[in-house]
């Protein structure tokens, strides 16, 4: 027999639980020698979503063994640090594009499989963005973020708030396709992508060293910047 403890999950962590367990303490019989990570994940909450945890009123780590009679409270992140870049799973292409627009290093490929995501997450210590809670429970995923929203704009607001992206954004410095830093380009290089008349008002051109695409502040640039600023600054 394992230890019986009482758990309470605060804030958005309740979304991972059955309705009757949300916002209230409840008893749960843990497996023998279960850690707090084992216990919270057995209840459906990925370890990446727990920003702070307390046992019997004292701070604890997810490696702590659950003991008989423990009272466990888990809290979501209020602001999660971002040490490296992001890794968006195959279903979050729109979010990945928005993050690149803001200048945040974000790996994404439609062909990404879970095994490759786990490997990259472990080796590069990237924050895995996913709507797959089982993926975020994997021990190789040291840093992660479950994305609750379904639409890319709402997903960006969610991620921006959790990681405090507003102050760190460098819009339009990365290639939206290759995720590489853009370098200065000439008007001549830009002519391969648009006629001279369309390019005439512009002087600042940037080129991706990977795919060769050239970017400039066209008429769409101001609209995109305004949309991104609204998304990042929204509460």
Any domain includes 94? yes
| Chain mean pLDDT for the chain | 90
The pLDDT-based confidence of 227 (bands split at 50, 70, 90) is confident
Whether residue 103 contacts residue 173, with contact meaning beta carbons closer than 8 Å, is answered with: yes
- Of the residues 31, 57, 76, which one is the last residue of a structural domain? 76
Are residues 89 and 70 part of one domain?
no
- Of the residues 76, 106, 140, which one is the last residue of a structural domain? 76
Is the pLDDT confidence value at 190 over 80?
no
Q: Return the H-helix or E-strand segment holding 228.
A: helix 219-233
Residues paired with residue 93 on neighbouring β-strands, in sequence order: none
Instruction: State whether residue 20 is helix, strand or coil.
Output: helix
Whether residue 86 contacts residue 106, with contact meaning beta carbons closer than 8 Å, is answered with: yes
Any domain includes 207? no
Are residues 133 and 84 part of one domain?
yes
Are residues 157 and 101 part of one domain?
yes
Strands 86-88 vs 106-107: parallel, antiparallel or unpaired: parallel
Residue 49 to residue 146: CA distance in whole angstroms: 7
Mean pLDDT across 1-7? 89
Which residue has tokens 């990681």? 163
Nearest to 146 by CA among 42, 37, 62, 48: 48
pLDDT digits (tens, 9 = 90+) for 130-162: 999 999 999 999 999 999 999 999 999 999 999
Residue 234 pLDDT: 63
Query: What range defines the domain where residue 42 resides?
Result: 4-76
Is the pLDDT confidence value at 204 over 80?
no
Cβ neighbours around 8 below 10 Å, total: 18
pLDDT digits (tens, 9 = 90+) for 24-71: 999 999 999 999 999 999 999 999 999 999 999 999 999 999 999 999
Please tell me what DSSP assigns to residue 106: E
Residue 133 to residue 174: CA distance in whole angstroms: 29
Are residues 83 and 54 part of one domain?
no
Are residues 168 and 83 part of one domain?
yes
Please tell me what DSSP assigns to residue 99: H
Residues paired with residue 185 on neighbouring β-strands, in sequence order: 205
> What CA–CA distances, in Å, run from 21 to 13, 44, 55, 145, 226?
11, 11, 18, 22, 41
Whether residue 8 contacts residue 41, with contact meaning beta carbons closer than 8 Å, is answered with: no
Number of domains the chain contains: 2
């Amino acid at each position: 027999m394992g230890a019986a403890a009482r758990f309470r999950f605060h804030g958005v962590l309740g979304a991972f639980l059955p309705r009757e367990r949300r916002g209230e303490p409840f008893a749960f019989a843990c497996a023998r020698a279960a850690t707090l990570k084992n216990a919270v994940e057995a209840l459906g909450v990925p370890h990446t979503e727990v920003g702070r945890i307390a046992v019997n009123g004292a701070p604890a780590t997810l490696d702590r063994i659950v003991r008989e009679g423990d009272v466990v409270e888990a809290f979501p992140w209020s602001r999660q640090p971002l040490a490296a870049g992001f890794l968006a799973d195959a279903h979050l292409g729109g979010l990945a594009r928005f993050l690149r627009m803001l200048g945040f290093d974000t790996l994404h490929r439609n062909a990404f499989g879970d095994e490759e995501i786990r490997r990259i997450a472990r080796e590069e210590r990237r924050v895995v963005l996913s709507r797959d809670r089982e993926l975020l429970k994997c021990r190789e995923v040291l840093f992660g973020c479950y994305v609750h929203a379904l639409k890319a704009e709402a997903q960006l607001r969610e991620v921006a708030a959790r990681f405090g992206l507003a102050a760190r954004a460098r819009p339009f410095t990365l290639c939206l396709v290759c995720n590489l830093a853009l370098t200065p380009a000439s008007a001549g290089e830009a002519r391969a992508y648009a006629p001279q008349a369309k390019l005439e008002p512009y002087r600042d051109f940037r080129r991706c060293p990977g795919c060769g695409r050239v970017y400039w502040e066209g008429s769409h640039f101001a609209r995109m910047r305004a949309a991104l600023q609204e998304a990042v600054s929204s509460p």
